[in-house]
Amino acid sequence: MKQRLRSVLLVSAGMILGMLLTFAWHTSGSLAQSGGCQTFPQTNHKVCGKFLTYWQQHGGLTQQGYPLSEEFVETSDLNGKPYTVQYFERAVFELHPENAGTPYEVLLSQLGTYLGRSNYPQGFPANAGQLPFYEIRNGSPADMLKSYYNAINRKDYERAYSYFQGAPNPSPDVAPPYAQFVQGYADTRAVTLAVGQAVTDAGAGNVYASIPVVLTAQHTDNSTHVYAGCYFLHHVNPGISQNPLDALWSISKAQLSEVPANSSVDQLLARTCTP
């Protein structure tokens, strides 16, 4: 009798412990359920109703990621119509009432279309291997350098050269003469750009930025060379200059040197840039 009672007590204690652990996991773990919703402590947002069903049935956390917002109404840039949307780490859900009762009531917004129109206004080339045109000089310092190396990789050297401060005749300490600049890429097939955290500073109507970079250059002889260093950028505040191009980022200086191919990109990008 005592043995049976001891067993019952042990089982009961185990059940209580299991219930406590389960409760703790649901309240402080990856999600908590309440009233048809799941709340994610990681981002402090919840997913409910049809969006929750879609999230669960289409890959959940692995495919869609955590919610970044609550539901709200947003006017589509594609057709000008308002839709209830919710942003996730890897997708944006759209509710389409016109498709009620079908599997298409919740759709993913056309992020590829949005970003394609925004980043590549000239569209995408039809031929394989052709790089689409990218140019954003009034965005972030990273956008400007992406534009510069987009021009390099497209062999559009005139556009690339125009990004130097003082172009079309930049100072010799900013860039070499144009013909020498072009010749420097004669044996370069493509350059891959990696950027670190930009640091900006402002004063007297000017904005300055420094940004660490790692460049991986593929050459026509099939060799690969890695370069690391910093770019220094500048623009004036809008309205300061009569030349509108002065309000766009330009390259004022570059400090680059070759590094071993097996160097840590993360460590190189974490460097502090000093003019």
pLDDT in tens, 4-20: 434 433 344 444 434 43
Choose among 90, 87, 52: nearest CA to 69.
Answer: 87
CA 62 to chain centre: 18
Choose among 111, 106, 99, 101: nearest CA to 49.
Answer: 106
pLDDT in tens, 153-186: 999 999 999 999 999 999 999 999 999 999 999 9
Token pair for residue 157? 């050297």
Residue 5 contacts residue 29 (beta carbons within 8 Å): no
Q: In percent, how much of the chain has pLDDT > 90? A: 72
Token pair for residue 182? 């072009």
pTM attached to this predicted model: 0.76
Region 117-122 average pLDDT: 88
d(CA 245, CA 142): 18
Mapped onto helix, strand or coil, the DSSP state of residue 5 is helix
**CATH numbers and ranges of domains, the chain:** 32-116 (no CATH), 138-269 (3.10.450.50)
pLDDT in tens, 86-116: 999 999 999 999 999 899 999 999 989 888 9
Region 76-85 average pLDDT: 88
pLDDT in tens, 253-270: 999 999 999 999 999 999
Element containing residue 270 per DSSP (H, E): none
Choose among 232, 229, 231: nearest CA to 207.
Answer: 232
